[in-house]
């Protein structure tokens, strides 16, 4: 570094996660072994988004800037040998979007400092990133507390001459969730044919749209669960749950180049039938107060998927989201099936689940206390310690929105922000196992749950 022995930027209280409208402050620290002449010392605070046409491209095809502030902390002089400190402070605009990083683009924020030296001398530069969390309050989304519902009917041929009809209906308890909450799904399958169906698959899908001249779609399966098929002429019900892992918020408000959508896709193989439920992922949970009654919720369970999860069919690329979640306080009331679904007075059977994406290495389901998740509005997830290298990976990473601050291979430094998401959710160690069934949660043997009633 030449004459400079130390040239660094520090933030006040080591804080690196900020909200829109907050001020960011700190100091530029300089230590020299010899005197150093300079024309100016300037500090810059910048926020921008860039997207590219190729994965992990260094240069951007399109870019937009949210702010670029400059502060001159010293004008023309000489830095004597020893330590020097220059304070700075900037105001973050209210409309700035949440930090995000993906394979085709990112929303980044940084503080940069430059020492401009006289002609023919070397200029010195340093920078440090910070992260912005623009909270998405699910309570501001219209009808967020209502169930999300989708149904499709499929007519198909088998054995060349025979025809059959299949009805696939799926419903989620709400339309929006925060990380750590549970999405409750209820699926009904009415097989009006003489042929058994293939397995049923429920997946939590993330779609990130990069708005280049030819928009790019990054589709990822975040979580999935597989259920058994339905016998010929049978009506079956399948009730499962998916735990929402730490994920970037929906939409990415304030950014016009990147858009994030989430949806639940339930598909049946042989015959092929698909329904899609748009949902929202936010930061502040739906507040189901007494004046805002809780919607009827399906029971039992579903789960998050490892990095080996397959992608989604291109047909899902045009879906948009909506939704929110809460824990049950009493067993759900059995709902009457629609007349069209139960034509002929056919009794329904419960569909077993074959595999979860949330399991320990032994393949055995491990029950956990429902109190392991916080469902209160404005509740924050506590950062967990870094997992052991042998621990199973939790879900596919698309880039942490608000990671712990790291530089190079150093140990992550915790921040002072109470609303920070856990670091690097691609290797987060909580949880690995499927959640307990609804019946297990409400069982009298579950003392932890009952003690909360």
pLDDT for res 114: 96
pLDDT for res 119: 78
pLDDT for res 378: 28
b/e per residue, 127-145, with b = 16+ CB within 10 A? ebbbbbbbebbbbebeebb
CA distance 56 to 357: 28
C-beta neighbour count of 55 within 10 angstroms: 10
Prediction pTM value: 0.69
Of 296, 277, 249, 248, which Cα lies nearest the Cα of 425?
248
So where are the chain's domains? 4-132, 138-450
Exposed/middle/buried for 198, CB within 10 Å: 0-12, 13-18, 19+? middle
The residue behind tokens 């596919």 is: 396
Q: Could you give phi then psi for residue 315, rounded to 5 degrees?
A: -65, -20
Asked if domains 4-132 and 138-450 share a fold, the reply is yes
HEC states along the chain?
CCCEEEEEEEEHHHCCEECCCCEEEEEEEEEECCCEEEEEEEEEEEEEEEECCCCCCCCCCEEEEEEEEEEEEEEEEEECCEEEEEEEEEECCCCCCCCEEECCEEEEEEEEEEEECCCCCCCEEEEEEEEECCCCEHHHCCCCCCCEEEEEEEEEEECCCEEEEEEEEEEECCCEECCCCEEEEEEEEEEECCCCCCCEEEEEEEEEEECCCCCEEEEEEEEEEEECCCCCCCEEEEEEEEECCCCCCCCCCCCCCEEEEEEEEEEECCCCEEEEEEEEECCECCCCCCCCCCCCCCCCCCCCCCCCCCCCCHHHHHCCCCCCCCCCCCCCCCCCCCCCCCCCCCCEEECCEEEECCCCCCCCCCCCCHHHCCCCCCCCCCCCCCCCCCCCCCCCCCCCCCCCECCCCCCCECCCCCCCCCCCHHHCCCCCCCCCCHHHHHCCCCHHHHCCC
Q: Which residues pair with 362 in a beta bridge?
A: none
CA distance 154 to 6: 69
Q: Which residues pair with 62 in a beta bridge?
A: 51
Digitized pLDDT (tens) for each residue of the chain, 453 residues in all:
557 899 999 999 999 999 999 999 999 999 998 899 999 999 999 999 999 998 888 899 999 999 999 999 999 999 999 999 999 999 999 999 999 999 999 999 999 999 999 877 888 999 999 999 999 999 999 999 999 999 999 998 888 888 899 999 999 999 999 999 999 999 999 999 999 999 999 999 999 999 998 999 999 999 999 999 999 999 999 999 999 999 999 999 999 999 999 999 999 988 999 999 999 999 999 998 665 555 554 544 444 444 333 333 333 334 433 333 333 333 333 333 333 334 334 557 888 877 767 543 333 333 232 222 222 322 333 333 333 333 222 222 233 333 333 333 333 333 333 333 333 333 333 333 444 444 554 554 444 334 444
What's the order of all strands across the beta sheet hosting 258-268? 176-177, 273-281, 258-268, 200-210, 216-227, 353-356
Q: Could you give phi then psi for residue 450, rounded to 5 degrees?
A: -65, -30
The CATH class, in words, for 138-450 is mainly beta
Please name the CATH architecture into which domain 4-132 falls. Sandwich (2.60)
């Amino acid at each position: 570094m030449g004459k400079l022995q130390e040239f660094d930027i520090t933030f006040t209280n080591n804080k690196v996660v900020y909200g829109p409208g907050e001020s960011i402050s700190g100091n530029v620290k300089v230590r020299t072994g010899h005197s150093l002449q300079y024309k100016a010392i300037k500090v810059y605070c910048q926020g921008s988004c860039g997207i590219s046409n190729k994965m992990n491209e260094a240069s951007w095809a399109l870019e937009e800037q949210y702010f670029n502030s400059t502060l001159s902390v010293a004008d023309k002089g000489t830095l004597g040998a020893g330590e020097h400190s220059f304070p700075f402070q900037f105001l973050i605009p209210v409309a700035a979007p949440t930090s995000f990083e993906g394979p085709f683009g990112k929303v980044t924020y940084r503080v940069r400092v430059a020492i401009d030296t006289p002609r023919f001398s070397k200029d010195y530069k340093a920078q440090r990133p910070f992260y912005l969390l623009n909270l998405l309050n699910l309570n501001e989304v219209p009808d967020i507390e209502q169930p999300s519902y989708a149904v499709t009917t499929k007519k198909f041929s088998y054995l060349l001459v025979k025809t059959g009809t299949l009805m696939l209906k799926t419903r989620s308890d709400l339309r929006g969730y925060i990380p750590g909450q549970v999405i409750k799904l209820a699926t009904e399958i009415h097989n009006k044919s003489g042929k058994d169906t293939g397995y049923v698959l429920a997946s939590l899908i993330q779609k990130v749209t990069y708005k280049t001249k030819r928009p790019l779609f990054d589709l990822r399966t975040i979580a999935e669960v597989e259920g058994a098929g339905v016998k010929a002429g049978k009506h079956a019900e399948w009730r499962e749950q998916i735990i929402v892992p730490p994920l970037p918020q929906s939409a990415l408000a304030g950014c016009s180049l990147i858009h994030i959508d989430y949806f639940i896709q339930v598909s049946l193989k042989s015959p092929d039938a698909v329904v899609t439920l748009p949902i929202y992922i936010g930061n502040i949970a739906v507040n189901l107060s007494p004046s805002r009654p809780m919607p009827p919720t399906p029971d039992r369970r579903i789960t998050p998927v490892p990095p080996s999860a397959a992608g989604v069919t291109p047909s899902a690329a045009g879906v948009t989201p909506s939704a929110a979640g809460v824990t049950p306080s009493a067993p759900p009331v059995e709902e009457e099936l629609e007349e069209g679904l139960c034509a002929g007075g056919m009794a329904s059977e419960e569909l077993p689940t074959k595999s979860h994406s949330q399991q320990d290495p032994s393949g055995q389901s491990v029950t956990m206390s429902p109190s392991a998740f916080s469902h209160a509005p404005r509740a924050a997830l506590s950062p967990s310690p870094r997992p052991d290298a042998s621990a199973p990976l939790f879900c596919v990473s698309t880039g942490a929105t608000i990671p712990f601050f790291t530089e190079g291979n150093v140990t992550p430094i915790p921040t002072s922000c109470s609303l920070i998401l856990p670091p690097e959710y691609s290797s987060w160690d909580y949880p690995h196992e499927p959640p307990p069934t609804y019946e297990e949660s409400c069982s009298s043997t579950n003392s932890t749950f009952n003690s909360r009633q």
